[in-house]
Structures are given as C-alpha cells and as structure tokens.
A = this chain, B = another copy of it.
Amino acid sequence: MPGEAAKTVPPEAGSTATRILDAAEALFAKRGFAGVSVREIAGRVGLNQASIYNHFPSKQALYEAVLERGLGPITDLLAEGKGSFQSRDFQEQLLERLVDHLWRTPHLPKLIQREVLDGGEYLERLVDHWLTPIYEQGTSAMEATPGFVDWPLADRPLLILGLYHLLFGYFTSAALYARVLGKDPLSPEMRRTHLDFLRRASDRLLHQDVNAPTR
C-alpha cells in the first residue's frame, strides 16, 4: 500500500527492544523473513545494524520473539474461555474480542499466514502445544451447538478452519480488498462492516437450523 517511504519508529515509543520488535513485526509481516534484512530493521529504529544484536541473538531469534509476542495474546484469548465454548453468547463475545484484537494488530494475521505458507517449524510447535488442545476442546464443546451437528462429521474440521479463513483472510488479503473495494480495508468505518459480516456469516454457517438439501 502507500507510503513506502521508510517510516521510522519514533524514539520515544517504549524500550529499544520493543521498538525493534515493532519495526521487525511490520517488516516481517509485509515482506516475510527472507525479504527483510537486519540492516533495514535497524534503520527503521534508527539504530546501527550491530545494535540489534545487543537485544536479540540472531535474526531468527528476533523473528521468533515477534511471533511470540504477537501470538501470546491470541492463544490467551482462546485459552481463557476454555470451558465455555458451548454458550452462544460466549462464541459471539469471543468473535468480537478476536476481531478487536486483530484490528489492533493487523500485522499479526499476515505473520501467521506467512508462517503457515512456509510450513515453518515455529508453527508446528504453536499448533501442537496450543491450538490443537483448544481446537479439540472447542470442537467437542460445539457438539452442543445444533447448527454445528447438522454438518457431516467429516466436514466439521473444515468448517472450523473455514471460519478461521473467513476471519483472518480479511487481514491477510488486505491488499486485495483495497484494490477490489476501492477503499482502505483498515479504515475505522470498515470495522463495523467487517464484524457484521462475520457475525452474519458465522450465523449462517453455524447457528441455522438447516433442512435445505445441499442439492
């Protein structure tokens, strides 16, 4: 998108390590691990290249610190309501809070999507240790949701991941949305539209008593 002109992280914005993480997060999200040089990250923070290594032992470690920092709140969010997935209210609330968080950290979905595309090993750990438990618990909780059990068993995992794509896709494909919609998808006024759409879509997919034949 616009304004590629080297934005600098303002010097007052938190500790040096935090400012490095901020700059790295933005850059890794925009161009991926291989597409970003340590020099560039340092430049954004107004540091010499070598100074990065006073805060992080390697580019890889910095990358992982970025992921860690970004993913923590999300897995927390999910883990938090471990026992209450079956309540529709909770589901609504969770959706709202997730959307909220993503709107505040729009780099995050891109980072995750890049990690997923790479099949990176960090993803592996994340999925195994955090997501799978939550996923399984969530799934079993959903068994109580009428609209969910309408779906064939085999489709249910795809449905859940589909919901994930519906949610994350908006951010990972912001560039595409911008082009197609003709307006900035991250503008404040799009936020409500986005949430409304997600509510409606998940409603149709999850909470409807469906007798309609698939054809």
Contacts and interface: CB of A to CB of B under 8 A. Distances in A.
A58 B172 CA distance: 28
Interface in A173-203: 173, 175-177, 179-181, 193-194, 196-197, 199-201, 203
A120 B207 CA distance: 38
A151 B200 contact: yes
Interface stretch (A8-16, A26-34, A98-106): A26-34
A157 interface: yes
Given A32-B118, A204-B205, 4 more contacts: A30-B118, A31-B34, A159-B201, A203-B214
Interface of A: 1-3, 30-35, 92, 110, 113-114, 116-121, 123-124, 127-128, 131-132, 135, 151-152, 154-155, 157-159, 161-162, 164-166, 169-170, 172-173, 175-177, 179-181, 193-194, 196-197, 199-201, 203-205, 207-210, 212, 214-215
